[in-house]
């Protein structure tokens, strides 16, 4: 599966980052899928001028505070980018950040732990056993990524500290 354009993410740092990236890597190896960095997509597939998007994100980041994100139960869908994921608890601050970046669009805040097209019999035991990491994580920056093409080709472009 290929993605398009640019994406804006909230990413863990420190111990939560290490823990979540290890979890994603272990699942990728177990399920023969591609690993990717742990993140919560604020907006994806943005096909905007990079300079204009960077200026917009810089302005948004200045007025939005750090966010405490809570990772909730594990779920799976028949969508490649939501093969297996943890729901992220909705807060007014998170909703406001999403709307500032993407506008008033439908959105399911989540942190994917596996991308792919897997049968339900492979996903069900993982969903049943996957406990959310205790405490979630604090997101202190917006991360702009180029997400054109396959996961292996995705690249970070800029980081905008919140607050």
The structural domains of the chain, with segments of one domain joined by +, span 6-161
Measure the CA–CA gap between 77 and 70, rounded to whole angstroms.
20
> Cβ contacts of residue 123 below 8 Å, gap of 6+?
76, 83, 84
Q: How confident is the model at residue 128 (pLDDT cuts 50, 70, 90)?
A: confident
- Measured CA to CA in angstroms, residue 130 lies from 44, 115, 123, 140 at distances of 25, 15, 10, 25
Per-residue tokens: 71: 């990772």
Q: Which fold has domain 6-161?
A: Cyclic Phosphodiesterase; Chain: A, (3.90.1140)
CB atoms < 10 A from the CB of 28, how many? 18
Q: What is the pLDDT of residue 4?
A: 63
Q: How confident is the model at residue 129 (pLDDT cuts 50, 70, 90)?
A: confident
DSSP conformational letter for 71: E
Measure the CA–CA gap between 112 and 19, rounded to whole angstroms.
14
Measure the CA–CA gap between 48 and 124, rounded to whole angstroms.
38
**37-54: pLDDT as tens digits:** 999 999 998 877 889 999
Q: What is the pLDDT of residue 148?
A: 86
> Cβ contacts of residue 21 below 8 Å, gap of 6+?
35, 37, 38
Average pLDDT of the chain is: 92
Q: Which helix (H) or strand (E) holds 114?
A: strand 110-114
**77-125: pLDDT as tens digits:** 988 899 999 999 999 999 999 999 999 989 999 999 999 999 988 999 8
* pLDDT > 60? residue 2: no
DSSP conformational letter for 149: B
**4-33: pLDDT as tens digits:** 689 999 999 999 999 999 999 999 999 999
């Amino acid at each position: 599966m290929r993605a398009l354009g640019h994406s804006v993410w909230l990413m863990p740092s420190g111990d939560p980052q290490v823990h979540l990236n290890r979890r994603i890597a272990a699942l990728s190896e177990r399920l023969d899928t591609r690993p990717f960095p742990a993140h919560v997509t604020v907006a994806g597939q943005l096909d905007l001028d990079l300079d204009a998007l960077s200026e917009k994100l810089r302005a948004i980041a200045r007025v939005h505070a750090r966010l405490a994100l809570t990772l909730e139960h594990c779920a799976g869908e028949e969508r490649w980018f939501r093969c297996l994921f943890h729901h992220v608890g909705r807060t007014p601050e998170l909703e406001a950040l999403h709307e500032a970046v993407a506008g008033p669009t439908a959105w399911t805040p989540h942190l994917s732990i596996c991308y792919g097209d897997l049968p339900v019999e492979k996903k069900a035991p993982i969903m049943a056993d996957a406990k959310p990491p205790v405490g979630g994580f604090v997101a202190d920056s917006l991360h702009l990524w180029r997400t054109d093409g396959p996961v292996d080709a995705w690249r970070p472009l800029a980081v905008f500290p919140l607050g």
